[in-house]
């Protein structure tokens, strides 16, 4: 493997189509597509300032690097990425990416990040200002994730999340086969129009959660005081520890909780309108 150390590059495509290359403490200045169409690239302690640096790349490792805001849309149409100990200030990262493993990565400006990606593993990742993160993604495996941003995980499928804190409204809309374990989910309108959403030992806050859902399962979850008007028009099987502020017109299934502040059943209920609601207090 050829090594380039402590050099600086700029302009358009300075390292275009390179293969079997290791960059050490390299700076990529303003320009475009510095490492486009590359294969088997390792970047160690590098700084990326120009836009579109990694497009159409195959097998690349990024460790202890910085992507400044100017390095926007940095990783698109690529596959097989390992990224560790890296700060990503650039927006619109990770699109049309297949096969990525991120550990100890911070994304302080993560709006419109991770679109149309698959086979993604995240561990100890934090994403802020992350509106519309994970749109149209599949096969996500996420642990110890902190998210601050709305409209997350929309149109995703085959997702597993563990031990995370998700501060996000309108999350998990139109999803298929999503499971969340031992996490906190804060935000309004959670999981609307989802299919096969399963929440295990999660804490849920925000108004009107889990409506219009099909095949919804909750196991030993808890609800915040603001989680009102839950389960409207949903097919649900739920066991909730403690109190649910209110339930409105669930369509079918069963809901079992310690207590429920109010059960709203009105003329707008939808067939089969046979959900069993029980309290244990």
Q: Give the pLDDT mean for 223-246.
A: 98
DSSP H helical segments within the chain, as ranges? none
How many independent structural domains does the chain possess?
A: 2
Percent of the chain topping pLDDT 90: 99
Domain assignment present for 167? no
- Helix or strand run (H / E) with residue 168: none
Domain assignment present for 160? no
Domain assignment present for 228? yes
Domain assignment present for 159? no
Domain assignment present for 35? yes
Which two three-digit tokens encode residue 224? 């915040």
The C-alpha atoms of residue 175 and residue 197 are separated, in whole angstroms, by 7
In CATH, what number is assigned to the domain containing residue 124?
A: 2.160.20.10
> Are 242 and 104 contained in the same domain?
no
The C-alpha atoms of residue 231 and residue 204 are separated, in whole angstroms, by 13
Domain assignment present for 164? no
Residue 105's pLDDT is what? 98
> Are 115 and 10 contained in the same domain?
yes
Residues 47-81 pLDDT 10s: 999 999 999 999 999 999 999 999 999 999 999 99
Domain assignment present for 175? no
> Are 130 and 1 contained in the same domain?
yes
Report if pTM > 0.75.
yes
Per-residue pLDDT band at 278 (split at 50, 70, 90):
very high
The C-alpha atoms of residue 112 and residue 226 are separated, in whole angstroms, by 28
* Burial letters 16-55, b for 16+ CB under 10 A, else e: eebeebbbebbbbeebebbbbbbebbbbbebbbbbbbbbb
> Are 208 and 113 contained in the same domain?
no
Residues 153-175 pLDDT 10s: 999 999 999 999 999 999 999 99
> Are 61 and 113 contained in the same domain?
yes
CB neighbourhood size of 6 (10 A): 10
Domain assignment present for 83? yes
> Are 203 and 67 contained in the same domain?
no
Residue 1's pLDDT is what? 83
Q: Is the pLDDT of residue 195 over 90?
A: yes
Per-residue pLDDT band at 11 (split at 50, 70, 90):
very high
* Burial letters 84-114, b for 16+ CB under 10 A, else e: bebebbbbbbbbbbbbbbbbebbbebbbbbb
Q: Is the pLDDT of residue 281 over 80?
A: no
> Are 121 and 186 contained in the same domain?
no
> Are 124 and 194 contained in the same domain?
no
> Are 40 and 95 contained in the same domain?
yes
> Are 131 and 200 contained in the same domain?
no
Per-residue pLDDT band at 211 (split at 50, 70, 90):
very high
Better-scored residue on pLDDT, 280 or 134? 134
Residues 74-123 pLDDT 10s: 999 999 999 999 999 999 999 999 999 999 999 999 999 999 999 999 99
Q: What is the mean pLDDT of the chain?
A: 97
CA angle, 155 then 230 then 224, to 5°: 100
Which two three-digit tokens encode residue 108? 């302080």
Percent of the chain topping pLDDT 70: 100
> Are 1 and 128 contained in the same domain?
yes
The C-alpha atoms of residue 83 and residue 67 are separated, in whole angstroms, by 12
Q: Give the pLDDT mean for 37-55.
A: 97
Residue 41's pLDDT is what? 98
Instruction: Note down the domain range covering 130.
Output: 1-149
Residue 200's pLDDT is what? 98
> Are 116 and 192 contained in the same domain?
no
């Amino acid at each position: 493997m050829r090594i380039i150390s402590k050099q600086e590059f700029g302009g358009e495509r300075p390292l275009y189509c390179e293969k079997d290359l290791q960059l050490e403490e390299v700076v990529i200045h303003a320009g475009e597509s510095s490492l486009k169409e590359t294969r088997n690239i390792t970047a160690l302690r590098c700084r990326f300032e120009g836009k579109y640096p990694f497009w159409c790349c195959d097998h690349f490792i990024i460790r202890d690097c910085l992507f400044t805001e100017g390095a926007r849309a940095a990783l698109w149409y690529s596959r097989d990425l390992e990224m560790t100990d890296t700060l990503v200030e650039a927006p619109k990262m990770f699109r049309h990416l297949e096969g990525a493993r991120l550990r100890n990565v911070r994304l302080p400006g993560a709006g419109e990040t991770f679109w149309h990606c698959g086979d993604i593993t995240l561990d100890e990742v934090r994403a802020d200002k992350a509106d519309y993160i994970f749109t149209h993604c599949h096969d996500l495996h996420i642990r110890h994730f902190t998210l601050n941003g709305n409209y997350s995980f929309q149109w995703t499928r085959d997702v597993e999340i563990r031990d995370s804190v998700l501060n996000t409204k309108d999350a998990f809309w139109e999803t298929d086969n999503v499971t969340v374990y031992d996490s906190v989910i804060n935000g309004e309108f959670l999981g609307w129009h989802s299919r096969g959403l399963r929440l295990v030992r999660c804490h849920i806050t925000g108004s009107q959660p889990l409506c219009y859902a099909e095949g919804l399962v909750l196991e030993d979850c808890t609800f915040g005081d603001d989680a009102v008007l839950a389960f409207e028009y949903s097919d649900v099987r739920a066991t909730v520890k403690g109190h649910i502020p209110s339930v409105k017109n669930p369509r079918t299934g069963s809901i079992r909780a310690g207590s429920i502040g109010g059960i709203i059943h009105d003329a707008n209920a939808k067939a089969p309108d046979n959900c069993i609601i029980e309290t244990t207090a």
